[in-house]
Amino acid sequence: MILKSKDLLGLKDLTTEEIEYILNTAKTMKLIVTSKNKKAPHLQGKSIITLFYENSTRTRLSFELAAKYMSASAANVSASSSSVSKGETLIDTGKTIDMMGTDVVIIRHPMSGAPHLLARNINASVINAGDGMNEHPTQALLDMFTIIEKKGSLKGLKVAIVGDIYHSRVARSNIWGMTKLGAEVCVSGPSTLLPPEIEKTGVKAFNTVQEALIDADVVMGLRIQLERQKKGLFPSIREYSRFFGLDEKRLKLAKEDALIMHPGPVNRGVELSSAVVDGDSSLINEQVQNGVAVRMALLYLLTRRDSNENVN
């Protein structure tokens, strides 16, 4: 099997089979991440560029290590957000990178659809490492990988995603991916932070966190950004935390063996209490480790397409 597109732009456009294939490949990759000798030859001779228009520590590092563990040459391009609307266009930057012999460009961008624009205009494969409010597919893949590792499958699991769904690309990618793999996804957050007509994507939306948490197998908190408060979307962090914060007491509504996740970085005491972050059910650290494995799998699968030359 081979991925249909030269790019990974989002989980909305992937088939269930493609998602499962990526996750299966990541299992093998995890053996490399957890071994003593982290050097595999899969990407020898390949060149990987990370092109980040937004700050990021973990995602960028995770991609960079994924490339290096598989012997690719990797380089970083940092573009400040302010250069997005002035200066060189995204297409021009992309073409420059393309002409230097790059095989995969990993892009993070504050505007939804930027990776799609790049992908249409360059020959290299493009991986979306987060675009605006649209998608963050590798985060969702690593979340699903982590859940499957613990639970065996997503089929029939109830997953509650709590927080700022409106602005969250992590939520959108997880909704597409998890519903495709058969999970029942519930979202909950202040009504000002739920996107319109979100239920049409196949999820249930709740304005009380309690409804979403009942009998959940997986609970995922999302980061709340303070700047949303200034825009009038919620009155205070204190009130947010009172109605939507996840603490041990509230999590008793979920199943006893419920898994706790968060894409990080966590605002301790806001989305999750410190006790929950550091508790036994928290998978936050596993998520980070699995992130490298999933990204290795993707880099491997996308660069393997070259031999077929059926780039569309």
Q: Are 160 and 171 in contact (CB under 8 A)?
A: no
Min separation Cβ 193 and another protein, Å? 12
Nearer to another protein, 112 or 229 (CB): 112
The site map against another protein for 192-231 (x = CB under 8 A) is ---xxxx-xx------------------------------
Decide if residue 269 touches another protein (CB under 8 A). no
Decide if residue 73 touches another protein (CB under 8 A). no
Nearer to another protein, 79 or 277 (CB): 79
Nearer to another protein, 118 or 299 (CB): 118
CA nearest to 281, candidates 233, 232, 194, 218 = 218
Nearer to another protein, 7 or 217 (CB): 7
Decide if residue 112 touches another protein (CB under 8 A). yes
Span near another protein by CB under 8 A; candidates 112-120, 179-187, 267-275, 287-295 = 112-120
The only residue of 108, 158, 169, 262 in contact with another protein, by rule CB under 8 A: 169
Task: Find the angle CA(67)-CA(259)-CA(55) to the nearest 5 degrees.
Answer: 40
Decide if residue 140 touches another protein (CB under 8 A). no
Which residues sit at the interface with another protein, rule CB under 8 A? Answer: 12, 84-85, 89-91, 109, 111-114, 116-117, 131-135, 169, 172, 195-198, 200-201
